[in-house]
Amino acid sequence: MQNADAIITDSSGEPKVNYLTNGSTIKSWLLTKDHKRIAIMYLVSVSAFFLMGGLYAAAIRLELLTPASDLMESGTYNKAFTQHGVLMIFFFLIPAIPAILGNFLLPIMIGAKDLALPRINLLSLYFYWIGGGLTLYALLQGGVDTGWTFYTPYSTTFSNTFVMAVGLGIFINGFSSILTGLNFIVTVHTMRAPGMTWFRLPLFVWAQYATSLVMILGTPVIAITVLMLAIERAVHIGIFDPAIGGDPILFQHLFWFYSHPAVYIMILPGMGVISELVSNFSRKKIFGYEFIAFSSIAIAVFGFLVWGHHMFVSGQSIYAGLVFSFLTMVVAVPSAIKMFNWTATLYKGSILWNTPLLYAVGFLGLFLIGGLTGLFLGSIGLTVHLTDTYFVVAHFHYVMVGGQVIAYLGGLHYWWPKMTGKMYSEFWGKISAMLVFVGFNLTFFPQFILGYQGMPRRYASYPEELQVLNIFSTAGASVLGVGLMMPVVYLVHSLFFGKPAGDNPWMLPGLEWRTSSPPPTENFETMPVVTWEAYEFGEENGLDTEEARRREAVSTVS
């Protein structure tokens, strides 16, 4: 801290070098240790995987337009939904917010020059690429048809698709996620700027911290489980094969020990983004800071106690089912705390209806529905009726797409000016946010009804009386597709033609808005000293005089 003077500021008259202009060779990107460049590379790769997963989703919805399995035969359909799931979960939802927004913003938000272990960060990107490459190889070779859950003994004994290659891809990709989590934990513990106490951390950082805990504690278990699956598939000893004394439920226990907490890896960072958006766009200190912070940790911990609710009808004991059902109700409490606090924050705030807030408000509604239907599914009696129907499909899409994807889009818009220095088109942004919301509801709400009427998931055909709702769903999917493609166009457009955003386009007190846009390679020209609480919107309170002057100037112009 004493040698902050080691930073030599660029006092010459040339335009300041930022992280994007600091080196333009391919090598300067591929061997970079700069967390912001790594985040940008993640952004490009994750978007590519999202697009691929989206194409599979389009194929699935097209197939379900008609009751007969006419577009694809059942085997192809099995591969389509499996690959949709694998790509979306392991290569989009899990890395999306932590590896892109978290990587980019976490060090800036706590006033650090970089993540604590930059080389480990680069390594995690390479693991992601290798794992993704293996998975793509398997898809090009013919794909995999086990469902993303790889349930045994089908995946070990019967499926003759590329389970091994995809499994290996997931195994390697898992280490990418572990290393990211490890890095975040270390960074939050040791790299905070002077004055940045734990309770001055932005809630986004708290959420990333909780996510990282789950990544460290959960992901290794899926790694070893996939490894055992691969060994079983290779040599058939039968530890998952009931015919010779093995136990397929054991696989499910190990699988869900990770994969249930993994849904919190997917949603917790989204909740962090929403905390930022809700507070900053209602210009109000967040209501119940400590409650939101600790509810993130509580979700991370309780999330490990409920995995059995995925196995209510798969042969676990009734007693275990009861325990897991009860704990599932408990884990809803911290999520509810967050919902109440966000709503209370919005209440009487001076709300700016910009694109990020539109997404945030969309999140509140959709996550509410997703969360409450989760309680339906968590109650052991009702599950017997609803297991493996479209009700489940609709539920987790409400949480994953309505929660994580929408939060991710909101966060991407919110921080886009900081990441690129350019402002996107607010007009098209609002249109796209509303299209996504409408399209999403039209796609997935009918699926609740379909599921309740008994339409099972994972079939290419269905009874004719269910066609009307399926047509609604497919129509909604096309609206959703258009809404999701639009940001690609106008965000890329803004890179070249967007107007410069300025350092603090939203006029906010957070640390990331106190450096230039895009930030320099080491984030801050001088080591920041934090003297304000998080989300402090009082009159110039906590903002330095320079910042106050600039705020004044901008507000008189606009």
Partner 1 sequence: MSSHASDKFVYHEPGLQHQFEDMKQQEESVSIGMWMFLVQEIMFFGGLFTVYLVFRSKYPMAFAAGSNHLDAFWGGLNTLVLIVSSLTMALTVYYAQKGNRNMQVVLILLTMFFGAVFLGVKAIEYTSKYEDGLVPVAGLNKKVKENPNAEHGAAQAKPCYEMGHGAEHTYINPRGEFQWVDCSLVKVAEKGGFLTPEEKIGYYSNGDIDADKFRDKVRIFYWIYFVMTGLHALHMIVGIGLMTWLLWTAWKGTYSHDYFAPVEMSGLYWHFVDIVWIFLFPLLYLLGRHFLH
Partner 2 sequence: MSEKHIESGEGHIAIPGYLGVFAVLVVGTILTYWAATKDMDWIFPGANTLVALLIAFTKMTCVMLFFMHVYWSPKLIWLSAIASFFWLAIMFAYTMQDYLTRSSGVFST
Judged by CB under 8 A, the residue of 67, 147, 220, 502 near partner 1 is 220
Q: Is 435 in the site for partner 2 (CB under 8 A)?
A: no
3-state secondary structure of 487: helix
Q: How far is the CB of 395 from partner 1 (least distance, A)?
A: 28
3-state secondary structure of 389: strand
Q: Which residues pair with 422 in a beta bridge?
A: 500
Binding site partner of 96, from partner 2, partner 1, none, Cβ cut-off 5-8 A by kind: none
Q: Is 316 in the site for partner 2 (CB under 8 A)?
A: yes
Q: What is the DSSP string of 19-70?
A: TTTS--SHHHHHT---HHHHHHHHHHHHHHHHHHHHHHHHHHHHHTTSSS--
Q: Are 180 and 215 in contact (CB under 8 A)?
A: yes
Q: How far apart are CA 311 and CA 256, in angstroms?
A: 9
Q: Are 299 and 381 in contact (CB under 8 A)?
A: no
Q: What is the DSSP string of 421-475?
A: SB---HHHHHHHHHHHHHHHHHHHHHHHHHHHTTPBSS-S---GGGHHHHHHHHH
Please choose, out of 86-94, 242-250, 333-341, 502-510, the segment that lies near partner 1 by the rule CB under 8 A. 242-250
Other residues' Cβ atoms within 10 Å of the Cβ of residue 15: 8
Q: Is 319 in the site for partner 2 (CB under 8 A)?
A: yes
Q: Is 11 in the site for partner 1 (CB under 8 A)?
A: no
Q: Is 189 in the site for partner 1 (CB under 8 A)?
A: yes
Q: Which is nearer to partner 2, 304 or 537 (CB)?
A: 304
Size of the site for partner 2 (CB under 8 A): 19
Q: Which is nearer to partner 1, 32 or 470 (CB)?
A: 32
Q: How far apart are CA 473 and CA 539, in angstroms?
A: 48
Site string for partner 2, 231-260 (x = CB under 8 A): ------------------xx--x---x---
Other residues' Cβ atoms within 10 Å of the Cβ of residue 116: 18
Judged by CB under 8 A, the residue of 80, 109, 115, 139 near partner 1 is 115
Q: How far apart are CA 484 and CA 474, in angstroms?
A: 15
Please choose, out of 46-54, 117-125, 358-366, 426-434, the segment that lies near partner 1 by the rule CB under 8 A. 117-125
Extended beta strands in 144-297, E state? none
Q: Which residues pair with 389 in a beta bridge?
A: 456
Q: Which is nearer to partner 1, 94 or 115 (CB)?
A: 115
Judged by CB under 8 A, the residue of 304, 390, 398, 524 near partner 2 is 304
Q: Which is nearer to partner 2, 189 or 385 (CB)?
A: 189
Q: State the Cα angle at 37 between 32 and 39, rounded to 5°.
A: 125
Site string for partner 2, 180-219 (x = CB under 8 A): ---------xx--------------------------x--
Binding site partner of 31, from partner 1, partner 2, none, Cβ cut-off 5-8 A by kind: partner 1
The footprint of partner 1 (CB under 8 A) covers 1-4, 6-8, 17, 22-23, 28, 31-34, 37, 112-118, 120, 178, 181-183, 185-187, 189-191, 216-221, 223-225, 228, 231, 235, 237-239, 244-247, 250, 253-254, 257, 520-522, 527
The footprint of partner 2 (CB under 8 A) covers 189-190, 217, 221, 249-250, 253, 257, 304-305, 307-308, 316-320, 323-324
